[in-house]
């Protein structure tokens, strides 16, 4: 997408993220499993955003650091209850990671796919592996791509109220494993606000290969953070890689 950069998503969604996505996954189940994976080690969340998971993890007593390219997202994190207990780093998931070491690094809900080339995604695996303690864990949560996705464009309605309409416009490139789009947020008082997004997806098998090249091996794969068994009909996965 022309003009799209590392901060575009965070800057476009920071003011609505908690309203739109607070319930995209079960926070209690997710943080309980992450805390178990972390043990006594320090925790790093990639693409921490507004701290939907990092703040509750810190509340459990874990030492949590979050990294994000968007200062708008991080400002929201600092302002929420418990946000001050999370150490924050402004930077990207490849070149900006703090030194660590960490017992757990995790990336939630498709955020890894915001790295828009396979090289950048591979670079993330290498950077994470270099900062894990021996036996440390990298947990990746993402959707499972369709086996044969179509190259297509779509326009749909996300929500309608008396004074607000939110439209979703997207395009998909099956060969390039990419999708991008805009949420067009139209309000009577504020006019039009564009909220862009862009991803490059990878299959679980491709992620496994990236992990192996970085010296990590798959120990568990679930359908969610409730540890529901992963199967051929699973639409999402949580993959646990260990150093």
Helices 204-213, 118-129: axis angle to 10 degrees equals 50
Fold of the 152-199 domain: N-terminal domain of TfIIb (2.20.25)
Q: What is the pLDDT of residue 149?
A: 86
Is 15 strand, coil or helix?
coil
Q: What is the pLDDT of residue 28?
A: 96
Fold of the 8-145+202-242 domain: Rossmann fold (3.40.50)
DSSP run (H or E) holding 42: none
Beta strands at 191-200 and 178-187: parallel, antiparallel or unpaired = antiparallel
Instruction: Let me know: does 76 contact 50? Beta carbons within 8 Å.
Output: yes
Tokens 């494993």 identify what position? 177
Domain assignments of the chain as residue spans, ordered by start:
8-145+202-242, 152-199
- pLDDT per residue over 20-32, tens digit each? 998 899 999 999 9
Q: What is the pLDDT of residue 147?
A: 86
- pLDDT per residue over 53-86, tens digit each? 999 999 999 999 999 999 999 999 999 888 999 9
Distances (CA, A) of 194 to 76, 154, 167, 187: 19, 16, 10, 12
Distances (CA, A) of 235 to 31, 201, 224: 21, 13, 10
Q: How far is 42 from 108, CA to CA, in rounded Å?
A: 17
Is 80 strand, coil or helix?
coil
Q: How far is 181 from 172, CA to CA, in rounded Å?
A: 9
Q: What is the pLDDT of residue 1?
A: 83
Q: What is the pLDDT of residue 102?
A: 98
pLDDT one digit per residue (tens) for the chain, 243 residues: 888 888 899 999 999 999 999 889 999 999 999 999 999 999 999 999 999 999 999 999 999 999 999 999 999 999 988 899 999 999 999 999 999 999 999 999 999 999 999 999 999 999 999 999 999 999 999 999 998 888 999 999 999 999 999 999 999 999 999 999 999 999 998 899 999 999 999 999 999 999 999 999 999 999 999 999 999 999 999 999 999
């Amino acid at each position: 997408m022309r003009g799209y950069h590392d901060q575009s998503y965070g800057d476009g969604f920071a003011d609505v993220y908690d309203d739109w996505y607070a319930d995209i996954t079960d926070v209690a189940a997710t943080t309980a499993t992450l805390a178990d994976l972390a043990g006594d080690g320090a925790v790093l969340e990639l693409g921490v955003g507004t701290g939907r998971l990092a703040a509750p993890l810190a509340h459990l007593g874990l030492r949590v650091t979050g990294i994000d390219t968007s200062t708008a997202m991080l400002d929201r994190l600092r302002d929420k209850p418990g946000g001050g207990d999370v150490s924050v780093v402004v930077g990207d998931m490849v070149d900006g990671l703090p030194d660590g070491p960490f017992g757990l690094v995790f990336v939630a809900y498709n955020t890894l796919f915001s790295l828009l080339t396979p090289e950048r995604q591979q670079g993330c695996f290498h950077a994470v592996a270099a900062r894990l303690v021996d036996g440390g864990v990298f947990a990746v949560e993402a959707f499972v791509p369709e086996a044969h996705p179509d190259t297509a464009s779509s326009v749909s309605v996300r929500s309608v109220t008396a004074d607000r309409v939110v439209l979703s416009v997207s395009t998909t490139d099956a060969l390039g494993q990419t999708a991008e789009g805009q949420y067009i947020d139209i309000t009577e008082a504020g006019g039009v606000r564009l909220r862009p997004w862009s991803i490059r997806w990878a299959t679980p098998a491709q992620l496994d290969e990236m992990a192996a090249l970085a010296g990590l091996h798959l120990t568990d794969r679930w359908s969610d953070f409730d540890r529901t068994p992963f199967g051929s009909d699973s639409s999402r996965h949580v993959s646990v890689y260990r150093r």
